[in-house]
Structures are given as C-alpha cells and as structure tokens.
Structure 1
Amino acid sequence: MLYPMNIGVDNLCEFHGSQDKEGFRIILFRSVSEKPPYRMCIGIMILCTTALNYCFRTFFPITLIAMIKKNNTEVLSNGTRITKELPDYGPRFKWPAFVEGQLLGAYFYGYTVGSLPGGPIAEFFGPYWTITGCQYPALHGLIAAWAPPNEKGSFVACLMGNVLGAVITQAAVGYLVARLEWYWGFYFTGLMAALFIVSWVILVSDQPNKSWFCSAKEVDFILEQQQGSVQSGRSKQPFLKMATSIPFIILVICQFGNLWSLYLLLTVVPKFMADVLKFDIENVGFLTSTPSISRFVCGFIFGGIADFLLKRELLRKVVIRKGFIIFSHIIPGITLFLYIVVGDNVAVSVALIIIVMAFNGASVVTSTGNPQDLAPNFAGTQIGIMNFFGSMPGFIIPAMVAEITKEKSELPEWIIIFGISGILYIISGVVFILFGSVEIQPWNQKQDARPPSTT
C-alpha cells in the first residue's frame, strides 16, 4: 500500500488499528531502505547469459535465407506468369540443400562436443570461468550455489533468457539484413557478445560467499535454506552411477524430446515460413520471434506457479514435475499434429507454433528443473550429459529437413517433419510421467566435500 510521504507514524498506526508504533517505524524503515537481494542480480545475469547463447544460435538461420542464391520466384497475375526478382541482401551463394542443412547444423556439432565435458569443467573451475558449449552446465552449477530450494523454479525460469535472446535476435537480424545486407547479422551478434562479457566479469561469482556484492546476511540465509545439500570442494564425478541411474536416464530422454522441438523452431521453422507460408525475410524474423516471446513469458508464469505451489505445500514436488509435463510435452506434441488439419492457412499455422512454444515454457519446471532435484551438487554434470544428447537434434533436424525437402518444400513434406517432432514430444513426456523421479540420488554426495562457509 502506498502512503503520502508526509503522513506520520502515529496516523499510520491509527489507520491500521495498531498500537505498536516502534514496529511500524521498523517496517517503514525496512521497506524504504532494504535493497533487493543480490541473488536477483545473479538471476538476471543467468537470463542474459542464455539470451546471448541463443543470439548465436538464431541469427544464422535468418541470415542464411539472405545468403542463399535461389531461383527468382514466379507468380500469376490475371493468368500471366510474372518473374519476381529476389531482393538484394548482398552476395548470394548457390549452395545445394545438403550444404544448407550442414551449415544450419554446424553450430551444434561444436556445441554437442562441448556439452559433455562442460559439467565437470564447470564444477572444477567454477561457473564464472565457463562459457559457450559449457554454458548450461555452468549455469546449473550457479543456480545450485545461489538459489534457496523454494526459489529454484524462478532461477531455472531465468534460463528462458534463451527465448529472449531468440526474440531480439530474430527480429533485429531480420530488420538489419533487409536494410543493410546479411553481413549485419554477424556484426550484431559480435556486439552483443562484447557487451555481455564486461557485465559478467564484474557482477558474477561462483558462490554467494565469494561475491563482492552479496551481504553476509544474505549468504547466511541462502546457506541456511540449502541445509547442506550443496557442498563446496572438488570431487570425482559419479559417471558410472549416473549411467545406471534410471531417474537420470529418464531425464535425458525427456530433455531430448524437449530440445528436439525447440531446435526445430530455431533452425528450420524460418525455412517453413519462407518456403510454405511465403513470408519475406523481415517478416520471417519477426514471426519466428513471436513464438519465442510466448515461451519466454509462459516460462516465468509456469516457474512462478510451481514455486507458489511448493512454498504453500499445496502439491508435492513429484506431482508438480509430472503434472507440468502435460503442458511442456504432451500438449505441444498433440498440437503439432494439427498441421494435418489446418493445411497452409497462414494465421492458424503461425498460431500453432505460438501455442507449442507457450506450453513448452513449462519445461523450466520439468526437464530443465529436474536436475536440481536429483543431484544439485552435480547439476552441471547432469546438464552437460543431457545437452550432449539433447543437442544432437540441432544437426540431425537440418539434415533430415534437407533430405525430406530436397525435391520440394511444400506442406506435405512439412507435415511429416512436424509429425515426427510431435511423436518425440509425446513419447518423452509419457516416459517421464511413468518413470521420472524427484528424489535426491545417493550419488549427489561429494566425497571429502563440505558445505560452503560464510567466510
């Protein structure tokens, strides 16, 4: 509630029917003088980190449309065939469909290789020093160190910054390429990276007790809430135990289905919009960012709802994780099959993609949040392994699409592509509902490790 600045404490007490004037002075002072907890800044930096990651992933599919030399399009006007010249976005290259597919997937070759050792590297050197292919394992290590258990849903939701990065990049690159040639897709991405690095070096630290800016009071609060579940110190990663852990194997399957359809949107849906829906490059950039916006917003909504349910103890964690799978996997999978019905209706086609990504925002509660349940001490290692397998669709999908559409890229071919994605969504979701777990695993315990101190 807001009050006029000149109202007295006596009047406030009278207004609220309270006799505790000193208590009101304390509350009034705290509400004005207390700073937000520094872990909020860490959450924002996690969001910015994933935004930059997807800036690198999403600028090239848009830029590539302007780089490929295709035949001039022909349209009919009053029965007369008219040749429509391609826009001039700079030099164009006559690459076959196979090369185009390999170019779209090239980023993910390196990213997949970097993901597997990413967790151990991040846990050995600390998240502060870990970037690029190791980024997501490092960020989960950062969340494990900074997030109280009842705030982990909100922290994991900050990983949805990847969607924010996709939104900004797809819209900005589409606009810049349409006006300043395709080179500017690369210039824009490089500038964003330079600005981010400066902020990261200044603001981020591996643990609260190592931060320049986190107060001792907040450090004590975080450690008290974690109750020793997060331990400092280096330890051998339990790879063998993880490889034989059913809950973790199920989580890998669940994440594979999640990332398959996410990478479908990032890598080849721009091609679908250009080839089937006939959008120009600027509209492709704008429209492919719209589903990302829905995923970003809904990710925070789902994460907030999950945290609320946990804090109020309205539902058990296992019910929340498995219940939200219906939103993150099952509903998006069913929605992709609707392309069989809607045909090439432009408005409905775009709406379906938006619906898929909006509901998939719940993945912050399911496949993305579950590593923090199983083993917070090795959350980075888990994510590294999950992303090793989950990133494979990044180069499998472009190659598959290139093969399916090598003769023609029309709606029947894309129904097959969307159908495959829908099946993987549903299967991976059902498997998690049946066999997934939220119980902390025995291999979470680090050997010869200790809880972090406040000094």
Structure 2
Amino acid sequence: MDQKFNKNKAGVRHLQCILLFVGNAVAFSLRVNLSVAIVAMTDKKNVNPNFEEFDWDEKVKSYILGSFFWGYVVTQIPGGYVSQRFGAKWPLFFGLLICSVSTILTPWCSSFGGWKLMFASRLLQGLCQGTLFPSCHVILSNWCPPQQRGVLASFAYSGSSLGTVIMLATSGIIASSIGWPSIFYFPGIAGLVWSVAWFFLGSSSPAKCKLVSAEEKQYIETSLGKSQEKTKEKLSTPWSKVLKCTPFWALVLVNSTTDWGYWTLLTQIPSYMKGVLRMDIAKNALLSSVPYCSMCIMGWVFIASAKVLRKRGHLSTEMERKLFNTIGTCVPMISLIGLGFVTSNATLAVALLVIACGFNSAVFLGFQLNHMDLASNFAGTLIGVTNCIANFTGVLAPLTVGFVVTNEHDPAQWRTVFFITSVIYFIGNLGFVIFGTTKEQAWNNPKSEKDELATAEELQPIKSEHNSDQDLEKSKIEDS
C-alpha cells in the first residue's frame, strides 16, 4: 500500500501545515499590533481623533509593550510538556482562542481599567501564545515525513513573517481611517475564525485524524519509523539524558544567539535610524514592514531552493540544516557590520536591513527544525526549553544596547552594537555547525531501551539454567 501512495500528492498533512501557516500569521499579528497601536493611543495628532487618548509616559508604555513577553516566557516549557503528553491540538486551540478574545477586549480594558488592566490583558495573551511554538513542533513532528519536514515545517512557520508584515503595513492606515481600536478588532476576529477552522480540521497526529486516508496515514507513520511507535504508556521526558546531550546544548546556543540578533534588529534599528540617519521609521508603518516583507518572501525562496536541492539529491538532512542556518546568520552578520559604517545614506541602511532580515529567514530551515530531528517524541518539550532560554535575550539585548549607546547620535557606539551582535551570530552558528546533528538520539525511544533491557534480563536466567543442566550431566558422568 505504501509503495502505491503518491507522496508528492497534496494530502491532509499539507492541510495541517496550511492551517499552522495561517495560525502563525494570526498569532504574530496579535503579537505586534500593539507596537503601532500604542502610538495612536497616546497621540491624536496623526490619527483618527474620534477615539480616546491616553496620557502614558515612556515608562508605562515600556511596561505595556514588555508585558506580553513576561507571560510568553512562563508557558514555553509547560506548553511543550502538555502538548507532548496529551496532544497539541487543544493547547494550540485554546491558546489562540483566548488570546483572540483578550485582544478584542483590549480597547475596553484600556478604557475601563487604564494601563494596569491593559498590562494584565497583554500578560494573558503572552501566557496563551507561549504554547504556540511547542504545539506547532509537536504537530509537525507527527505529521511531516523526515524527507518533507524541511519544506512543510518551514512553510508553516513562515506565516509568522506574513502576519508581522500585514499588521505593520496596515495598522497605520487603520488607525488614521477607522480608529485605533480596530487594530485590535481585526486580528482578534481573524483569530476567532481560525480557531473555528482548527477545531474542525486540525489534529494532533494522523492517528487521531478522521480526515486522513489509510494510505497517507501509513506513509507518514512508516516514514517516521520507530520514533512514532504506538505505546500504551505516556513517554516521560528523560531529563538527565537530555541535559547531557551535546547537540541539545548546541541548539540552545544557536537559538539564543539568533534571538539576540532578532531582538536587536526589532527593538533598536528604529532608534539607530532616528539617531544616526535622522530618519524616524518608528511612525512609518509601511517602511517598518519592508524588512519583514523581505523575510517573508526570502523564506519562500529558501523553501523552494531546499525542495529542489533535496529532490536532486544534493543535500542530506544534516547538510541542509547547517547550510541554511549558516546562510541565515552569516549574511545578516555581514550586513550588520556594513550597517555600522553607514552614517548618512538612509537608502543604503534600509537596503542592508532588508538583506539582514530577508536572509535571516533561512534559519527556519536550520536550527528551527532540529528539535524534531533529535527527538520527535519530545520536540515540543525541547523547543519549550530552548525558546524559554532564548527569549531572555529579548531583555539582555536591549540592556546591552542601553549600556553601550549613551549617545544615540554617535555612529561609533552603534558600530560597537552591530559588531557585538555579529560576533554573537558567528559564535552561535559555529557551535551548531560543529556540535549540532540531525541524528535521532537514543533517548527519543525510552520504551524501546526498556524493552531491550527487559529482554536481556529474561534471557539471563535461561542461560544460567542451561549451564546448570550441563554441570549436572558432567557431574553424573564423573561419578559413573
């Protein structure tokens, strides 16, 4: 049956990836909408003046903007554990559903309870979205055959770039025409629609899906092999072996260093543009979205390239991970070094920024999928741990910039920031190239290890009994 199945034909596994693509787009639109909305909420001059304005200082605004990530970090590891243990469909469903409802209620929260209630609302949204990546990883590890994992999983995650682009590009227009509350209403409603679609069409695995054909189900389960064997017991995470695993720590390192670069670009480039180039892009939503538009487009280019190279047999899985991860970190590294020497040419600066963000999308085919390679049975837990640790760079990177840049108009200080980020990029990728691997770890199947041990123990008494019989016969012969 498996030999007759056309693996290139669209199936339910592709439907799951499309749903995850849209889900990631919605999730990131819910995540970034506040960065533009908070400008409109505190300044009526350039937006529709028919809505309430809030007198929040920079300190309060920083609290509100950071509240999402305070919650986001907390639920990474629990989200991975729950998804791995009980199935990922429902953590993902309830996570985005509650986040969408909370987003729709955000304008009411800000009017009724001020910044404190809005802070609580964003904190709740962060808690809900902490389950996003762990749940997606569990679902993708169950649905994507290893040969197609790079393309399908990268496509699913590329929705995050699209959601960022759409939200940043349209928020300014929405705020000036309809009013800032609609910046929360539109993505919130989109999240509710997605939740309904996921409720009926989404599934944690082929084994739990009623839509998948027997042929496709057998193809997926056969290709995944022993890592997807059915067990009566729930697998417990072998923490001691995970923490002793060198490739896992290489994954933690590269995840953290890549996030350092991402947060530096996301949070500090507007300040650099304003301070050094005298160009305020923070209030220009369209210009702010250009780098993320390049990230979205280049992400699809890399996916297509990987598909062609794998089809022609030019790339092994490990080579694919390390090649694209190197592209996704080294090109941004070189772009940032170049950006450090740009002091007046705004066009060149934006071009370098677009290149940095665009090529950074290659990491979706790199370390981002390596959790599934190492241990598909524990992919949700692994990304929960690595993402939790890596997200602390969202705090450390801005603090480092604040320590180095005491005068935002000084190009030399910004050059130091970009050099530090480039070195961090280099170290992370080097560690992944040297110590990273796509080889499935033995601890991914603890039940199999237990069975082998039990089998060995069962054979031991038989062997001893056999030896005893031989000794008895020998003794009889000697006596006679």
TM range, normalised to the smaller chain? 0.7 to 0.9
Amino acid at match of 2:16: I
Question: SS of the counterpart of 1:142?
Answer: helix
Taking the aligned partners of 2:447 and 2:255, their CA distance within structure 1 comes to: 28
1:446 to partner: Cα distance: 4.0
CA contact (8 A) 2:375 2:441 kept: yes
Aligned mate of 2:89, from 128, 144, 156: 128
- TM-score, with normalisation over the residues of structure 1? 0.80
Instruction: Please name the residue that 2:313 is paired with.
Output: 313
Larger radius of gyration, structure 1 or 2? 2
1:316-327 correspondence runs (5 A): 316-327=316-327
Instruction: Please name the residue that 2:25 is paired with.
Output: 51
1:98-117 correspondence runs (5 A): 98-117=59-78
Instruction: Please name the residue that 1:87 is paired with.
Output: 46
Q: Which region of structure 1 is more displaced relative to structure 2, 117-126 or 309-318?
A: 309-318
Taking the aligned partners of 1:139 and 1:409, their CA distance within structure 2 comes to: 42
- 2:445 is the counterpart of 1:445: yes
Taking the aligned partners of 1:378 and 1:168, their CA distance within structure 2 comes to: 33
Mark the CA change 1:249 to 1:35 in structure 2 (over 3 Å): closer, same or farther. closer
Taking the aligned partners of 1:446 and 1:420, their CA distance within structure 2 comes to: 41
CA contact (8 A) 2:340 2:411 kept: no
Taking the aligned partners of 1:232 and 1:191, their CA distance within structure 2 comes to: 38
Instruction: Please name the residue that 1:278 is paired with.
Output: 279
* Structure 1 residues not aligned, in runs of 5+: 1-29, 70-84, 451-455
CA contact (8 A) 1:236 1:447 kept: no
Determine what percentage of the aligned residue pairs are the same residue: 28
Instruction: Please name the residue that 1:215 is paired with.
Output: 213
CA contact (8 A) 1:61 1:267 kept: no
- 2:363 is the counterpart of 1:363: yes
Taking the aligned partners of 1:214 and 1:445, their CA distance within structure 2 comes to: 26
Mark the CA change 1:64 to 1:427 in structure 2 (over 3 Å): closer, same or farther. farther
Taking the aligned partners of 1:99 and 1:408, their CA distance within structure 2 comes to: 22
Aligned mate of 2:157, from 132, 142, 159: 159
Taking the aligned partners of 2:415 and 2:39, their CA distance within structure 1 comes to: 21
Aligned residues: 403
Taking the aligned partners of 1:413 and 1:263, their CA distance within structure 2 comes to: 18
CA contact (8 A) 1:141 1:380 kept: yes
Mark the CA change 1:66 to 1:265 in structure 2 (over 3 Å): closer, same or farther. farther
* Structure 2 residues not aligned, in runs of 5+: 93-128, 451-480
1:204 to partner: Cα distance: 0.3
Deviations 1:289-317 (A, max 9, x none): 22212222222332333344334432333
Aligned mate of 1:137, from 134, 137, 145: 134
CA contact (8 A) 1:232 1:449 kept: no
Higher-helix-fraction structure: 2
Taking the aligned partners of 2:79 and 2:241, their CA distance within structure 1 comes to: 18
Taking the aligned partners of 1:371 and 1:432, their CA distance within structure 2 comes to: 12
Amino acid at match of 2:71: G
CA contact (8 A) 1:324 1:365 kept: yes
Mark the CA change 1:393 to 1:291 in structure 2 (over 3 Å): closer, same or farther. same
Question: SS of the counterpart of 1:199?
Answer: helix
Question: SS of the counterpart of 2:447?
Answer: coil
- 2:383 is the counterpart of 1:383: yes
CA contact (8 A) 1:145 1:230 kept: yes
- TM-score, with normalisation over the residues of structure 2? 0.76
Mark the CA change 1:360 to 1:88 in structure 2 (over 3 Å): closer, same or farther. closer
Deviations 1:362-381 (A, max 9, x none): 10221102112111111111
1:339 to partner: Cα distance: 1.7
Mark the CA change 1:393 to 1:312 in structure 2 (over 3 Å): closer, same or farther. same
1:279 to partner: Cα distance: 4.0
Amino acid at match of 1:63: A
Taking the aligned partners of 1:94 and 1:411, their CA distance within structure 2 comes to: 30
